[in-house]
Amino acid sequence: MLNQDFIVPAGTSIGHVHLKVADIPRALGFYCGILGFELQQKFNDQAAFISAGGYHHHIGMNTWESKGGNPPAPGTTGLYHTAILYPTIVDLANAYKRVLTHGVELDGAADHGVSVALYLRDPDQNGVELYWDKPKTEWPKGPDGKLAMVNSRVDLQSLLNQATI
């Protein structure tokens, strides 16, 4: 049963995600080398912490229980994806261009009405969503005034045309 006796405050945010990976250098090659995160701290080949803008870490990764391991099999539970929010559509376009340049294939892309999202996988097959939130004033509403998200096609060429790198 859904309990609404307590509601999380509006200013709450999710600070970071910590991933189990098979190989730290390979994971850093993806998250830092392709996506552009900055390495904040590394503990040999066991753990690393990366961020945007010098924050202590947005993504942690470790091999404590997963060194050389395999991704979870399809049909098992676990993290569906990590979502990385870009501040502008141009920043998302630049990330998309880097992903394409490095030969990373998209699993999909969607305009949800509230955001534009690109879906892909890291080298450990963890799902990664790269997205930009549209201004709240543009979010679609239903006849009842409530949020009415959609799942529409993204014009990837138009997105790519907005890249500045």
What's the pLDDT at 40? 97
Q: pLDDT 10s digit of each residue in the chain, 165 long?
A: 677 788 888 888 888 999 999 999 999 999 999 999 999 999 999 999 999 999 999 999 999 999 999 998 889 998 899 999 999 999 999 999 999 999 999 999 999 999 999 999 999 999 999 999 999 999 999 999 999 999 999 999 999 999 999
Terminal alpha carbon distance of the chain: 49
Other C-beta atoms within 10 Å of 52: how many? 16
Q: What is the C-alpha to C-alpha distance for residues 116 and 55, in angstroms, rounded to an integer?
A: 25
Residues 105 and 159 in one domain: yes
What's the pLDDT at 1? 65
Residues 165 and 85 in one domain: yes
Range of the domain at 23: 14-68
What's the pLDDT at 97? 97
Paired with 38 in beta bridges are 51
Strand pairing report for 59-62 and 82-86:
unpaired
Residues 85 and 56 in one domain: no
